Amino acid sequence: MTPSGESGISLFRHRELIHHRIRVSGLLRVLNASWTVPSIRSCLQSIGVTSADVIVNFNYEYLFLRRLFPDLPIITIINDDFISRALPGCRPSLAYAQQRTCEQSDVVLTPSVVLQQQLAPYCEPELFLPWSDGTECVPVVPVGRRILLYWGFVDWRVDLNWLLQLSRMLEQAEPSIEIWIVGPKSPSTESHPVFHGRKNVFSHPSAELSQLPIGEVIGGLIPFKSGVEGCDAIVLPNKALQLLAYGLPLLITGMPHFPVEPFVFRLDRGDPVTEIRGAREKNESLQGEIRSFVSKHTPSARLEQFAAIVEKARARRDRALS
């Protein structure tokens, strides 16, 4: 057991024999389960599971869970499209494992409309979106908005080629506007031309939003790639609600299922410079709608939703056992 640093939370590590991405046959799944199930049971002896407990599972290929917990409600959360990113030849086996895991669960949750549609043929998946970090949505006094803020990890999802084109367009049309990229970069992105020699692109180390000059920010920039399965499945990135909590409109690309709201400006369906100008001009008038949206996605609102889901899982398990 490892202390988590949070009251009432303990962490236990169990073992696995074979990495989930290469369990390409029933035999390999059986071999892995023969190793993993006893390891989990050993952890359970330390925990002391009771009939009042609920299992929340984040593993898409744990089709042995019902054997471990025949009487307890199981809530499975499928938080990524593991099947589309499977290794060549592995998709059928992993898809089968995911299907059986979901079929044996009492409730299945997902943060993506695309994943919800993919799971629908064999279960009744429910949408469960991220939530804000609890930051109060308060207006920030503007002091001349001139920054487009990308805040977060720069990885394969970020459309750096598009960002480079945007930098060139702004250099001509809005030379006072700067693109700030705040956060770490994956090694594969560091050599991209957008980070080298661009006068209006600035890279900064990781920082809390409260440490940044929010009054100078036009909006939160989320330039994800289009037509890529891992990006198209995203409905609402975690960072979106945190940016909104600071009163920042969102300027996005990709993510076709992103909520359609007055404070969301699409930069890939028309002239991006015009959209950026619109976000800058409308900032103050959008604050009420931003606050209303954030209030629906607070930690307390999501906790209330999850409590209702737990009761639903209990009721379904009771019916299955009766």
Closest CA to 283 of 132, 145, 138: 145
Q: How confident is the model at residue 152 (pLDDT cuts 50, 70, 90)?
A: very high
**Over the stretch 220-248, which tens digit does the pLDDT of each residue have?**
999 999 988 778 888 899 899 999 999 99
Tally the domains of the chain: 2
Provide the mean pLDDT of the chain.
Answer: 90
As given in the structure block, the two tokens for residue 10 are 């303990």
Is position 315 within any domain?
no
Closest CA to 156 of 128, 108, 189, 181: 189
**56 and 188 share a domain?**
no
Is position 118 within any domain?
yes
**Over the stretch 31-62, which tens digit does the pLDDT of each residue have?**
888 888 889 998 888 888 899 999 999 999 89
157: Cβ contacts below 8 Å, ≥ 6 apart: 224, 225, 228, 230, 231
Report the SS3 class of residue 74.
strand
Range of the domain at 43: 2-131
277 has a pLDDT exceeding 70: yes
**49 and 182 share a domain?**
no
Q: What is the mean pLDDT of residues 107-124?
A: 94
Q: What is the mean pLDDT of residues 277-281?
A: 95
CA distance 23 to 25: 6
Q: What is the mean pLDDT of residues 106-116?
A: 93
pLDDT at 162: 97
pLDDT at 3: 53
Q: What is the mean pLDDT of residues 265-270?
A: 94
pLDDT at 166: 98
Is position 104 within any domain?
yes
Report the SS3 class of residue 141.
coil
pLDDT at 1: 55
Max CA pair span of the chain: 70
**159 and 118 share a domain?**
no
20 has a pLDDT exceeding 80: no
Q: What is the CATH number of the domain that holds 55?
A: 3.40.50.2000
Of 261 and 136, which is predicted with more confidence?
261
CA distances from 206 to 17, 64, 105, 181, 184 (A): 36, 40, 38, 9, 6
Is position 87 within any domain?
yes
pLDDT at 280: 95
Residue 18's Cα: distance from chain center in Å?
Answer: 26
CB 181 within 8 A of CB 254: no
pLDDT at 176: 96
